Amino acid sequence: MGRLQGKVAIVTGAGQGLGRSTALRFAAEGAKVVAADMNRETAHDTVEAIRSGDGEATAVVVDVSVADDAERMAADTLAEYGRIDILVNNAATFGSGKHIAEIDEEEWDRVMRVNLKGPFLCSKYVIPPMRSQGGGSVVFVSSMSGVVANELQADYNTSKHGLIGMARCLAQDCGEDGIRANVVCPTGMNTPMMARTPAENVASYAAMTMFSRFAEPEEVANAILFLASDEASYITAAVLMVDGGATAIQPSDRQLREGAARYLRRASGNFA
Amino acid sequence: MPRYHLDGQVAIVTGGGRGIGRAIALRLAQEGCQVTVADLDGGTAAQVVDEVRAQGGQALPLQVDVTRKEEVQQMVSQTSDQLGDLRILVNNAGIGAIAPLLETDEETWDALMNVNAKSVLLCSQAAALQMIEQGGGGRIINNASGAGKIAPGKNMPLGAYAASKHAVVALTKQMGLELSDHGILVNCVCAGIVDTPMWDLIDRETAARQGAPVGSIKAQAVAGVPLGRIQQPEDVANLVAFLASADAAYMTGQTYNVSGGLLPY
């Protein structure tokens, strides 16, 4: 029997990268998956991939930062499957990549809207059905950038730090309803998002880890699955670092340079 | 119900005779591990081994004082001789002591540091050397405590205990780094208010100090848990089983809470 047998799960940003890996893994573990994405095509691709593996899934096209969309996503899920057991707040956008003094107000608002307001809205509308069912599990995808600083990422890191606060407060507010809220903080992953990042940055992110390599999205999906499942029934307000130990150490610049060189040799320019 | 397919993997659980250690040993055995149940009290270790065998599992009882290097080395060598290549070490053995810091005597401090912190170093050294000799790869999972992250509070005078558990969290980080080249992943778990003999002790002794009824300290503590129930040893075992599994292959050097939301970070 699957680890999510009979459960209904919404995964936002399910069209690609970590969201897709999570949706596929959930379905393989017996969940009925609502694959939510802004991009109709990629959402449907994920659903097709799930169905071709004999899983059950439905695509919804959603801008998580629009309240009507988030509300409709919850309503459609209830209409289709009758309950909502799991929400994975995964949809996110990168920041502007600018120095904090140079970030435009519009750019800042865009990052906060997608990365913070989106998870707030998506959570808000699944809480009432979860409460009346007697519980549920909300997993927030933050980042290693949710606990440390990175250069030129003030907007992105602020949003990812904020998610941890949101998850902990949700856990406080909804604990008595049996609703759990937890966070995973991955380091860089081999995903489309990272493929758009300059190779130098990619190498230094990899070098921060104890393994001098990135996570595969499947490795992070494993942790999301654990938190979503009943195996984690006593875990709430917790932050699971899935970062190859990156934030447990303070690497010296020299270690970082050496690690980056090692990584680049191994990756042989795959991200260039 | 087994979830992680650890069939045939050899594990050692220290302090495996009761409480959280017992739940971890039983769970790993359900996942297919062959488990050395190590405990200072050989009788409780034997009882847990009987339980494992009754489930159809394989286990080895050992009476071990984890603060003594020779005994720890013997634990590892007997395990690999009798069960096979060592794959998982769970550093769970620990003791508690109730005393405000101004009343904490040197013997209490030394005992807590020896059993709760030094044992983690000794057992991990012996286990990691064995794993490296086998060609590398393995998991070390340390059971710290919520007291490894925060001060337990004025009504719960566990200062020296907290210091020893903070040491375990720190050891986890550096050990994860030093063993990463050998493919050995090191992680730590922090539990909240767990229904175990240790929490009975904390409750009894703290209640006696305050002239409060037995059970009231535990009840107060549980009232502060967002999920609203006391923790069972199995809740911790669930997290340990995950960390021992292939699903946690990218996780090392870190500390994870299983506390019903009690721990603030």
B16 assigned to some structural domain:
yes
- Report if pTM > 0.90: yes
Q: Which residues of chain B neighbour A224 with C-beta distances below 8 Å? A: none
Closest CB from B226, B235, B251 relative to A171: B226
Q: Phi/psi of residue B156, each to 5°?
A: -130, 85
B95 assigned to some structural domain:
yes
A67 assigned to some structural domain:
yes
pLDDT digit string, tens, across residues B53-96: 999 999 999 999 999 999 999 999 999 999 999 999 999 999 99
The dihedral built from the CA positions of residue A254, A259, A264 and A270, taken in this order, carries a sign that is negative
How many structural domains are present in chain B? 1
CA distance A113 to chain B (A): 25
Check whether A83 has a pLDDT greater than 80: yes
Q: Tell which B residues from 157 to 216 touch A, by Cβ distance under 8 Å.
A: 172-174, 176-177, 180
CA distance A211 to chain B (A): 7
Length in residues, chain B:
265
B161 assigned to some structural domain:
yes
A81 assigned to some structural domain:
yes
CA distance B249 to chain A (A): 7
B219 assigned to some structural domain:
no
CATH of the domain at B41: 3.40.50.720
- How would residue A242 be classed by pLDDT, with cut points 50, 70 and 90? very high
Q: Chain-wide mean pLDDT for chain A?
A: 93
- Could you tell me if B16 and B45 are in contact, meaning their C-beta atoms sit under 8 angstroms apart? yes
A to B CB pairs, distance under 8 Å: 117
Q: What does the pLDDT read at residue A255?
A: 66
- Could you tell me if B145 and B117 are in contact, meaning their C-beta atoms sit under 8 angstroms apart? no
Other C-beta atoms lying within 10 Å of the C-beta of residue B230 = 19
Contact status of B225 with chain A (Cβ, < 8 Å): yes
Q: Phi/psi of residue A265, each to 5°?
A: -60, -45
Domain range for A184: 8-194+214-247
Domain range for B123: 10-193+232-258
A155 CA to centre of own chain: 17
Q: Which residues of chain A neighbour B172 with C-beta distances below 8 Å? A: 248
A116 assigned to some structural domain:
yes
Active-site residue, A81 included = no
ipTM, two decimals: 0.93
Closest CB from A226, A240, A249 relative to B177: A249
CATH of the domain at A165: 3.40.50.720
pLDDT digit string, tens, across residues A167-215: 999 999 999 999 999 999 999 898 887 887 777 777 877 888 999 889 9
